[in-house]
A = this chain, B = another copy of it.
Amino acid sequence: MIDFFNSIIPLNEKEKELIRQYFHLRCYKKRMFVLQEGDVCQHLNFVLSGCLRMYKDDENANPHILLFATEGSWINDLDSYYEEKKSLLNIDVLENTELFQINRENIVKLYLSAPKFDRIFRILTERNLVLLQNRMLENISLSAEDRYYNFLSSHPDLINRIPQVHIASYLGVSAEFISRLRSRRARNPFMGT
């Protein structure tokens, strides 16, 4: 994780030490929840290894996936974390996972002891905002088919790792529809390229 921060802005030894001090490692097994609807989010989560999803259940208990996270990325409900309010979201574990976590108390200490971290997290959040904005744009402008092919090319790693149902839920599409796209492409290989 130090590498991760370092790649955004180089850190000195003291700052690296702060990270070691304030973050702790926690392991989760498949199907465990990192955050459940109704609980207050207590940690920011950096994924060291594994795979998770953040989603909201609708009134019929169908999950709608907001975000996947794999090694090297973050997965947080910032609203619940900073405002200390009950989360509407769930975060659960798709593969056995190791997270580096930092709690509210420690992140304040971190910001106070090295302002560089304000900047690092600012940059991080800005990047996520841009990604989310792009995804939003895709969602309102592209057909389900195009969104799926875009997803394939931008996340080729995830398709072998995550069941199709989840990808469908992430794209806001039915699982059957994806299945049909695939079989159509199998018959006619130069579709969606």
Complex CA gap A26/B38 in Å reads 9
Q: Bound complex: CA of A29 vs CA of B38, how far in Å?
A: 13
**Residue tally, chain A, CB below 8 Å to B:** 8
Residue A88, interface by CB 8 Å: no
Q: How far is the CA of A29 from the CA of B31 in the complex (A)?
A: 11
Interface string of A40-64 (1 = CB under 8 A from B): 0000000000000000000001000
Is A32 a contact of B36 with CB atoms below 8 Å?
Answer: yes
Q: Does A33 contact B (CB under 8 A)?
A: yes
- Report the Cα distance A152→B181, complex, angstroms: 52
8 A-B residue pairs with Cβ-Cβ distance under 8 Å, sorted by A, are: A26-B38, A29-B61, A31-B31, A31-B32, A32-B33, A32-B36, A33-B33, A33-B36
Interface of A with B (CB < 8 Å)?
Answer: 26, 29, 31-33, 36, 38, 61
